[in-house]
Chain A
Amino acid sequence: MTEKIDPEHQEQHIVGPPVYLTIVITLLVLTAVTTGVAFIDLGVFNPIIALAIACFKASLVVLFFMHIKYSSRLLKMTVLCGLFTFMLLMTLTMTDYISRAWGMW
């Protein structure tokens, strides 16, 4: 129903430098990993791994740098809502492209 803005718990959660440092180092390491993996032939798994790593990195940024982990449920829903619509655009467009009779896919 109504999302809660409870003032007491709304006391801004301040994320400190240690967390940020951990995150940024993880991100840099993952960048190296994703570049490295790209040079290994894994067939169909290459793009999948690349995207998986990218998604993971993005989630780190969203959760920690952008404080979603510490934010209200409303903001969490907002992020999900954006993802959902984006997936709608992709998947429903794909229903056309994958099933086109002339088989460009």
Chain B
Amino acid sequence: MSTIISLPDQATARLPRKSFLNEEYGIKSWLLTGDHKRIAILYLVSITFFFVIGGALAGLIRMELLTPPSDLMATDTYNKVFSMHGIIMIFLFLVPSVPATIGNFLIPLMVGARDLAFPKINLLSWYLYMAGGLIIFAAMVLGGVDSGWTFTTPLSTHYLNTHVTTAAIGIFLAGFSSIFTGLNFIVTVHRMRCPGMTWFRLPLFVWSHYATSIIMILGTPVLAITLVLVALERTLDIGVFDPSKGGDPLLFQHLFWFYSHPAVYIMILPGMAVISEVISTFSRKRVFGYTAVAFSSVAIAVFGFLVWEHHMFIMGVSQYSALVFSLLTMLVAVPSAIKIFNWTMTLYRGSITFETPMLYAFGFMGLFTIGGLTGVFLATLGMDVHLTETYFIVAHFHFVMVGGMLMAYLAGIHFWWPKMTGRMYPEAISKVSAIVTFIGFIVTFFPQFLLGYLGMPRRYASYPADFQVLNVFSTAGATILGIGYLLPMLYLPWSLVYGAIAGDNPWQATGLEWQIQSPPLTVNFVEIPVMDHEAYDYEWLANKTVHEVQTVG
């Protein structure tokens, strides 16, 4: 059973005359569109905007931390900077990053549907996102928020006079945007699959997004009500989280992390979705252990709801319940390991090529493994006591979020760029930027593990001089990292005009989305396809030139 795929040469490919990009013109046709592909592009543009802001704030953080005293900005300003950095990066960038752009674009294509189940709700969710984003942006411009992204009570409710309520409203709206995205995905996956597309023929991308959506719809509302209560506490002075009234600030932690822990899986599962596709495509092999990978996604989503208290181990929760949650956290780490090993084994006896997405995917595997295993450090009760609230955590979550998800996001953007735009990105420079990103990343965040074990607390504007050397490394790395991210922002737009024409299936991939023209038509499929083979069936693809199954000419 070996596969050589020889599709017709893509070099002669030409841009299709009609596609979703030129179906209609004018700003209105974009702002009122129901087309999931256009909404994906809207998201792409807007999250990039917020990423640049968040990144610039990260730059400020690193600049301040270059020297021990808080000399670049006042401590107050610094607090606002990292709070806004966290809030923007998490709620406005990472949570919607892959699902709302790549997922939005691809899920209907992958399941063989004309659109998501509720196009208007999809558009509404973008508007909610923008409203939320602009409100948060306004909160930042009007003076900032200094609660950290975790809004710890009673600090956020009674001791800050910054725009906490405004930011909470913004997050509330952005949260509903993500609820609606999740809702749309679930209904689409359940109800809109094309004939022959059984659950176990779905690409793993869809499985992962399905799992993500479960978390989005079940977790996000708890965050919403928690923020409402915080806002009510600030405005109307109710006392649910206020210890001086008999309320319990720990209850806030419970409710907040009930969302925010599962949310970290909202932030990684879509990344894993991308990696499954990329690794399979560039090793021309079916993903090793398809069912195991599919179920591990769902397992992560379900177990993800059982472990939130590991963020509160030293906050005065009962020691027995800490035991329970530490144990459950160990369990949730296992499905991630399953995935990593399955991807590794997918390479075995494949026929591997090293295009940019694949490089990012390798980066993901390495960095996520480090990030994930350091998560296990934190899940280990006695270790967490020393490591919590230090830079070790900062390093942990940047490894999983930036090294994991952001790498995966970039892998995905590069991988599907030809599909989205019909043009190739420039290969050489993008490889350089992938490598620069990787190096920059390691230099930035690896020293933070050491800093964390040394005991440097997070959210510190000034720190003892003993910690400076490692911080200098970190700042230097962040500069490299910034360049690594800046490059795609330059060459991707460039490729819109000058990039080579991609053709329908430049990667010789098997997904339904690759069997139609790039960029696709607004209706996606002229005729609803009939799925008659497994996902990642490279045999089928190899024979495809014989039996032409293309739905769009």
Contacts and interface: CB of A to CB of B under 8 A. Distances in A.
Task: State if A and B touch, Cβ cutoff 8 Å.
Answer: yes
Interface of A: 1-3, 5, 74, 81-82, 85, 88-89, 92-93, 95-101
- Nearest first, the 4 A-B pairs at minimum CB distance are A95-B321, A99-B318, A96-B321, A100-B318
Query: Which of A5, A82, A92: most chain B CB closer than 10 A?
Result: A92
A96 B199 contact: no
Nearest to A100: B318
A92 B250 CA distance: 14
Contact of B319 (A74, A93, A101): A101
Interface of B: 190-191, 198-199, 218, 222, 250-251, 254, 258, 305-306, 308-309, 317-321, 324-325
A39 B320 CA distance: 38
A1 B199 contact: yes
B318 A95 contact: yes
A24 B42 CA distance: 48
B298 to A, nearest CB: 12
Nearest to B308: A92
30 contacts: A1-B198, A1-B199, A2-B199, A3-B190, A5-B191, A74-B190, A81-B218, A82-B218, A85-B218, A85-B305, A88-B306, A89-B222, A89-B258, A92-B309, A92-B325, A93-B251, A93-B258, A95-B321, A95-B324, A95-B325, A96-B250, A96-B254, A96-B317, A98-B318, A99-B318, A99-B319, A99-B320, A99-B321, A101-B318, A101-B319
Nearest to A103: B318
Contact of B254 (A1, A93, A98, A101): A93
A3 B193 CA distance: 12
A2 B320 contact: no
A48 B306 CA distance: 26
Contacts of B321: 95-96, 99
A88 B305 contact: yes
A97 B250 CA distance: 10
Nearest to A5: B191
Contact of B317 (A85, A88, A89, A100): A100
A78 to B, nearest CB: 9
Contacts of B319: 99, 101
B186 to A, nearest CB: 9
A100 B233 CA distance: 25
Contacts of B190: 3, 74
B246 to A, nearest CB: 11
Given A5-B191, A92-B308, 16 more contacts: A1-B199, A2-B198, A2-B199, A3-B190, A74-B190, A81-B218, A89-B222, A89-B258, A92-B306, A92-B325, A93-B251, A95-B318, A95-B325, A96-B317, A99-B319, A100-B317
Contacts of A99: 318-321
Contacts of B251: 93
Nearest to B214: A81
Contacts of B250: 96
A81 B319 CA distance: 29
A5 B190 CA distance: 10
A77 to B, nearest CB: 11
A8 to B, nearest CB: 17
A82 B222 CA distance: 13
A97 to B, nearest CB: 8
Contacts of A3: 190
Contacts of A100: 317-318
Contacts of B324: 92, 95
A51 B367 CA distance: 49
B188 to A, nearest CB: 14
A101 B308 CA distance: 20
A88 B305 CA distance: 8
A100 to B, nearest CB: 4
A85 B318 CA distance: 22
Nearest to A86: B218
Contacts of B309: 92, 96
Tell which of B191, B254, B318, B319 has the most Cβ of chain A within 10 Å. B318
A97 B316 CA distance: 11
Contacts of A89: 222, 258
Contacts of B320: 95, 99
A89 B306 CA distance: 9
A85 B217 CA distance: 11
A101 B155 CA distance: 25
Contacts of A2: 198-199
A74 to B, nearest CB: 7
A78 B445 CA distance: 42
Contact of B318 (A1, A5, A92, A96): A96
B112 to A, nearest CB: 14
B199 to A, nearest CB: 6
A87 to B, nearest CB: 11
A2 B325 CA distance: 33
A12 B177 CA distance: 31
A100 B324 CA distance: 13
Contacts of A81: 218
Nearest to A104: B248
A48 B321 CA distance: 25
